[in-house]
Amino acid sequence: MNICVVGTGYVGLVTGAVFADLGNDVVCVDNVASKIEALRAGQMPIYEPGLEEMVARNVADGRLSFTTDLAAAVRRSVIVFITVGTPAKDTGQTDLAAVDDVAREIAQAMERYTVIVNKSTVPVGTGERVREVIERHQTSPVPFDVVSNPEFLREGSAIEDTLRPDRIVIGAPTQQVAMTLLELYAPLERPMIITDVPSAEMIKYASNAFLATKISFANAIANLCEMAGADVSQVTKGMGLDARIGPAFLSAGLGYGGSCFPKDTDSLIHTAATLGYEFALLRAAVEVNRERSGHFVALVEKALAPLDGKTVAVLGLAFKPNTDDMREAKSVEVITRLLTLGASVRAYDPVAIPNAATVLPQDTVFCDSPYAAAEQADAVALVTEWNEFKFLNLERLRKVMRRPLILDGRNLWEPERMRRLGFEYHSIGRKPVAPA
């Protein structure tokens, strides 16, 4: 099929690359000329394992191209995916300006029947909104349909999630238009669910809100475990073995961040309020998450008091491993607060330092290895659980530190092992240990 993907962020670029890899002829469109030029030169705007190789392969084979000419891309395509950004406004409402702009340009460019697919995360009702925008701006009546096909990608494993998703959700106005998407996705041989458009839009938000609530529940239990002397790792393991609950998203730590969960929970709360429903449960989950960074900094402050003049090495800056995305990253809150309290911060991340340097306070010192960051540090604070940190030479780490104190915001290491290695070790929802 000839496919147009509008937007070359995480969703658009991965979607375009995977569809091209499946044998389709895909053109990715973006209105930022420098971004398109970089992509044509093989330079990725994001860090995502395996993406650069997939893009290069399909560009070389002639199945994937990049352009700023949306009108030409629309006219050559039978399916147009909208994958532009939908950021949150200060009120929590989703900003649909970019979606509206793209819908308007699609309307002016269409010359034959086209399927327009909303793949951006958008509130319920957006499919109807896009349909109205297109009808209003068509220069001459051309038939089209608007479909909702929400994405469920996790940054750091986006290609795997696109090739082997748990489910493919297609919200379509008719069975006939749904078949067009079914044909496109058929090579993946994954479970598909066909719904009406509003239900598909709601599935995306309901899924993310539930996972965010699950994370916040685990963190609330961690708070209780700290007070009661229980071990949250054992508690959540016992919970997760219940098939009705499952182990995913039950890890206690610094809470969720990134481009999806914070924005989507706020958006769903706003949508609920617009419809006349007070979503108290989800508000509580958001509030628990909002407290996590402060809770962790309080742990650091208590262990090091006073913080003034102390040096803290922060390991991990991206909001999660295997990405360079700093959106809603907990490291920003943690480091800003530590600096405000008088500490010096030396930071390391395997890939996110260039992006981190644009959002972290200027007083932050960036290092080229975890050991360099820990040099003469009074404490190491682990913020993002990169696999690299799991396999650190901890004896070497201890030797370069001024004080062998580790504060683990992700429960990456086992307390007893850290005790044997000579560390004072504090983690989330577990008893602190002193060196042997």
* Residue 259 burial (CB count, 10 A): 22
Structure tokens at 399: 């030797």
Compute CA 235 distance to the chain's CA centroid, rounded to the nearest angstrom: 26
> What homologous superfamily is domain 292-426 in, according to CATH?
NAD(P)-binding Rossmann-like Domain (3.40.50.720)
Give the chain's radius of gyration (CA, Å).
24
Short-list 428, 385, 430, CA closest to 296 = 428
pLDDT tens digits, one per residue of 228-283:
999 999 999 999 999 999 999 999 999 999 888 999 999 999 999 999 999 999 99
> Whole-angstrom Cα distance, residue 86 to residue 101?
12
Structure tokens at 266: 């706020």
pLDDT for residue 156 is more than 90? no
Give me the residue label for tokens 């909001």: 319
> What residues does each domain of the chain span?
2-195, 204-290, 292-426
Short-list 140, 153, 144, CA closest to 172 = 144
For the segment 370-397, the average pLDDT, to the nearest whole number, is 97
> Whole-angstrom Cα distance, residue 42 to residue 374?
35
Give me the residue label for tokens 């705007």: 45
pLDDT for residue 150 is more than 90? yes
Short-list 402, 401, 223, CA closest to 298 = 223
Same fold, 204-290 and 292-426: no
Q: What is the pTM of this model?
A: 0.91
- 89 secondary structure, DSSP code: P
Q: Which of the four CATH numbers 3.55.40.20, 3.40.50.720, 1.10.645.10, 1.10.3720.10 does domain 2-195 have? A: 3.40.50.720
pLDDT for residue 155 is more than 90? no
Q: What are phi and psi of 316, to 5 degrees?
A: 95, 120
Q: Which of the four CATH numbers 2.40.50.100, 1.10.1040.10, 3.40.50.150, 3.90.1300.10 does domain 204-290 have? A: 1.10.1040.10
Question: Which whole-number Å values give the CA distances from 126 to 3, 133, 222, in the listed order?
Answer: 21, 10, 38
Q: Which residues are catalytic?
A: 260
Instruction: Note the pLDDT of residue 329.
Output: 96
Instruction: Note the pLDDT of residue 236.
Output: 98
